[in-house]
Structure formats: structure tokens, C-alpha cells
A and B are shown apart, each in its own frame.
Chain A
């Protein structure tokens, strides 16, 4: 799917300035970042650090003021709104803090949603792809449940399935455990690790350092610049023990 010789994300001197009335706010002041396929990167930073801005730029939800952004080998920092939509559809899977599922819509239909807008027709059988994605997150038996009938952890897993269904180049998770209790958080983070073990590139945005410890690499942002970029030495939850516990945790919900 991806060319292993080139980084899936390559950012050069990315800047973003917001104009708030007369004041120019420099949210990003020149970020350089490179992420290889199969990496699990945590982007850390306090609120106001610019990590959300970076996340929006990485997710092609916003355009940079200057700088280059190559996603999966394509320069995407200067595209039209429609091309941005198509890139979000093809290359990116989002997981949000607030789950952002369509209410009164079954898990299956929520997962099918990105395929509704698939213009490339890469995936011919939407239902099958959605079922496979739900199976991948361990929710094969909850496909006809609506979000209100699911627990927070289950809702987030539906959201993860939705992010997976279009076989994206990267999964962008924005504080995915922010609305979950600690036990369910472990469950979700373990799922991310599992998916990463299958070769899926994951970018996790968080402000909590212990959550960032589940990733393989931590990029810390402060004042719109990369403060620290180093691999995780002592990885959390990533043990075989924790993985073995996963089915048990899922049943406990």
C-alpha cells in the first residue's frame, strides 16, 4: 500500500498564523517532522502549544500558512477544498475525543460512512469492509447497535473501525481517551497498539504523558515548535500480558 522507502508524513518548516483581529497569532512557527510507515507517534503538548493546529494540518482539515506537507509521497499543502476532502477520505482516519459518531445510526452504518464518499471506488463492497473493520476492533456482535446503546469504550472502538475502514495511510487520534475512564482507556490504547502491530501508522495527540508512553515515539510541541522528538524507552501497556487481557476487558464492559 505505502512505499516503505519514503516517510508517510514529511513536514518541512510548517507555519500557521491566525489573524485574530489586529493581532497575528503564530500557532506553528516552523515545524519539521518525518514519520515512517508503521510508526506509532504521540504528539504531546499543553493546551495552546499548537498541537491541535498541527493535528488539523496533518489531518488536512486546514491549510498551512507556509511550508510543505507531503502525505504518502504527495504534496498536499497546496490543494483545493475538494482535493482536501478526497485526501481525508483516502489517506486519513480520524479518531476524536468525543467519538463523533452519528446518533441514531447503527454502528455498521457509522463505519460505512467514509465509504459513502469514496470517489476512487477502491472498496467495492462497503458492507463487507465495514463488517471486517468492526470485527477488527472486536465489535462483530454489536453491529446493529446505535451509539446510545453502546458504552464509551465501545463507541470509541466503532470510531476506530470507521477510521480503519477506508484503509488509510495514517490514523489520527485526537485525545482518544479523553472521555474514557482509565480502564477503558487502557483497552482503547491496547487496541491502537494491536493495530500498530499490524502495520498501521498511528499518530496520537494527547496532553497526558503516561498516555503518550504507549506510543513508540514522542514528539513534544511547545509554543509552535518541536521541543523534543525521541523514542519511548519504557513503553506502557504494550506487554504481551496486556494484550492477552484484551478479550477479558472487552467482556467486562
Chain B
């Protein structure tokens, strides 16, 4: 056996004798590899965008909704029979161990007057846990206290959009506003979160103590939703189970009966949204993968031509003592060099394309080292697979016939 570097050198040399042909043969692989990387990169990029938007909702978020009810087979739609109460929140808070926070969410809308004018927005009644559950940070002022919640204190935190609308040229913190004609004191302004994945403005919001909203603005005892966060992603499912148990007991649901509420977590939401983009990524990637295979067939075709062309050379090599395996390795090496070189050029090209995309379009492609490795390995595999048949044909030649070949 002659050495690896010698084989490589010989392969390079013989490929360099037909530069144009080698380049054109590799082109199939170059285009295939760069297409795979760019397509998967674009899919990955959009997926990450969606994921980061969902993560902005909160970490390890668990959401409990009241369930729909049925009466006589007629479904009344989600929330039609709402039994979630502040009491449930209190029980969850006391009886579960895997939650880092739990908050009721009472949602109401209304006209808000203050400062420069008025604005229609959504008011969320929450408790002090809510800020860390949903990753809300303050731009100015301070959060309300547990005591403010207990005393139904008329304090409010304004989202950035609301603050900008009501108090465009002045500090909103410390100002008075009227929500549905009830006076509130603005104790802080929330940091901007921007739009969510659905294009809604997350900053068009007012946060106030849950009991204040529930009893002063809504005048009801049922809450719209419970938000909680698990201590870790790994404990998400167990935490959800704890909540389920607590609420079932609190609602006195007999075993065997259905829940009258729905629990979902952020991972599920993320999965649902990203699964679409994952399918797209796979689709794009596999179409690009087909072009890689077509490139491989191009290599096989040229290698077959090359074997026929070089029959005499093969005869010479056999006559001076090359074994069939030596000839086989030589042609395999050429096919692999063609495909791997094509793969490497394709990777470089894909960086160029990605860069061009980021310059001229709004698409962001994320190139992961894994996908680069995968495509280079795959292109080598293409070389091995499509180089095998021509190489075996070369190795199987009879030296006498090969020497006589014109």
C-alpha cells in the first residue's frame, strides 16, 4: 500500500490535468452543498426568531385556562363556564413545590385618561410574581407590593406604548391617570418588549394589582387565566401535574371526570409554532439534498468517462505491479477529492450567499457548525458512493486488454 498523502497527491495531479472538467464536475456538489447549507440556515434562522419571540413571553411558562363547558351536548366555547378563582391561585401557591411563581391574570379593557389625552388599552390584573414569570422589567419606577395587592391599591404600571401615548413628553411615573374613571397612580413604566410572534404590540398594556382589577374594575370573582413558572424546564411536566392535582381537588372534580380547565406550557406553544418552520426547513433541505445527489451522479458519469479514457494508463499501472486495489483506491480518491473539494467550496460559497442575503434581504440564515460538518461528510459519502462503481470497473480491467486498448 502506498501512503495516504501519495494517493491524495496523485489524485490531485490527475484532476489538475483536466482542470475545467474537474471544476464542472465539482460544480454539482458545490451547488448542492451550498444550497443545503443556505436553505437549512434560512429555516434555522426563522425558527430562532420565532423561538426568541416566544421566550420573551416568559421562561418555563405554564398557562392555565378555564375549560369550555358542555350542556346537553352544546359546547359553549372556551371560558364559557369559568371557575378559576383567586382561591385556586392561593392553593397552587401553597400546595405546589415545583413552581417559582404563580399569578392570576384578570383581563379587562377600557379607556384610560391622563396627561396628554386618552387611550384604549388592555389592563391586566396580576400579582407580584407576574413580573418574573413573564420577564417584565421596569424602565422607571417600581413594582407594586404584595400589600398593594391585598389592599386593592389603585396603582398601575404602564406599558411603553401607553406611557408614550399618555405622557409623550414627560415622565409618566408619579402621574395620575383614570381607568374607566377610577383614578390610579402610575408607579412605574415597563421596559419595551416589542411585538410578539403574532404581530401584537406587547407594550400596549397596563399592569395593576389583581385584586384591584378584579374588584374595582371588573366586579367579578372569576379570573381569566393563571400564569405560573416552573423551577426548571426539566420540571415543567411535573409542575403541570401538581397544578392539575391542586385545581382538581379545589374544584372537587371526581376521579374519572374531565378537567374543567386547560393547562399548557410554553414548550408546547413553541413546539406548535416551530413545527411548521421545522417542516419547511426539512423540505427546503431535502430539495437541496436532491441536487447533491444529482451532483454525485455527475461525478460518477465523469469518472466512468475517465476510466474509459485512461484504460491504457490503468494497463500500464497494472503491468508495473499495481494491484486491483491500488487502481481502485486511485479512482476512488479522485472521486472523493472531487466531491470533498466541491463540498468545501460549497461551504465557502454558502457563507458568501448568507452574507449577501443579510445585506440585501431581511432573511437571516444561521449556519451551524453541525450542518457544515454534515454536508462535508455527506459530500465525501457521495464521492465514495458514486466513485465506487467506476473505480471497481477500473480495478477489474484485464491488464492485457487494457494495454492493447486504443
Contacts and interface: CB of A to CB of B under 8 A. Distances in A.
Interface of A: 56, 59, 61-62, 81-82, 85-90, 94, 96, 100-102, 104, 113-114, 116-119, 162, 166
Contacts of B399: 61
Contacts of A81: 323-324
B20 interface: no
A113 B321 CA distance: 9
Nearest to A172: B319
B319 A86 contact: no
Given A56-B400, A116-B6, A119-B1, A90 B315 contact: no
B326 interface: yes
Main secondary structure of the interface of B (DSSP, over half): helix
B17 interface: yes
A62 B400 CA distance: 8
Q: Top 5 A-B pairs ranked by shortest CB distance? A: A89-B321, A114-B320, A85-B323, A88-B321, A117-B321
27 contacts: A56-B400, A59-B319, A61-B399, A61-B400, A85-B318, A85-B323, A86-B321, A86-B323, A88-B319, A88-B320, A89-B321, A89-B322, A100-B312, A100-B315, A100-B316, A100-B319, A101-B316, A102-B313, A104-B17, A113-B316, A113-B320, A116-B6, A116-B10, A116-B322, A119-B1, A162-B320, A166-B320
A82 B323 contact: yes
A117 B319 contact: no
A136 to B, nearest CB: 17
Contact of A117 (B313, B320, B400): B320
Contact of B319 (A90, A94, A104, A118): A94
Given A104-B17, A117-B2, A119-B1, A85 B403 contact: no
Given A61-B400, A82-B324, 4 more contacts: A81-B324, A85-B321, A87-B321, A100-B315
B320 A89 contact: yes
B317 interface: yes
A94 B320 contact: yes
Interface of B: 1-2, 6, 10, 17, 312-313, 315-326, 399-400, 403
A113 B324 contact: no
Contacts of A90: 321
A62 B404 CA distance: 14
Contacts of A166: 320-321
Nearest to B2: A116
A105 to B, nearest CB: 8
Contacts of A56: 400
A102 B316 contact: yes
A117 B318 CA distance: 10
Contacts of A114: 320-321
Greatest chain A CB density within 10 A among B1, B312, B320, B325 is at B320
A118 B2 CA distance: 8
Contacts of A94: 319-320
Contacts of B312: 100
B252 to A, nearest CB: 84
A25 B403 CA distance: 22
A87 B319 CA distance: 10
Contacts of A100: 312, 315-316, 319, 403
A102 B322 CA distance: 14
Contacts of B321: 85-90, 114, 117-118, 166
Nearest to B325: A82
A119 B322 CA distance: 10
A247 B325 CA distance: 42
B311 to A, nearest CB: 12
A81 B321 CA distance: 10
A61 B397 CA distance: 12
Contacts of A119: 1
Greatest chain A CB density within 10 A among B6, B10, B317, B319 is at B319
Nearest to A82: B323
A101 B399 CA distance: 15
B101 to A, nearest CB: 73
Given A102-B313, A102-B316, A117 B403 contact: no
Contacts of A117: 2, 317, 320-323, 326
Contacts of A101: 316
Nearest to A91: B321
Contacts of B324: 81-82, 85
Greatest chain A CB density within 10 A among B313, B316, B325, B400 is at B316
A96 B403 contact: yes
A114 B317 CA distance: 8
Contacts of B322: 85, 89, 116-117
B330 to A, nearest CB: 10
A56 B6 CA distance: 30
Contacts of A162: 320
A97 B322 CA distance: 20
A116 B316 CA distance: 13
A190 to B, nearest CB: 24
Contacts of B318: 85, 88
Contacts of A87: 321
B323 A113 contact: no
A61 B322 CA distance: 12
Nearest to A90: B321
Greatest chain B CB density within 10 A among A59, A61, A89, A104 is at A61
A53 B324 CA distance: 22
Greatest chain A CB density within 10 A among B312, B399, B403 is at B399
A104 B326 CA distance: 21
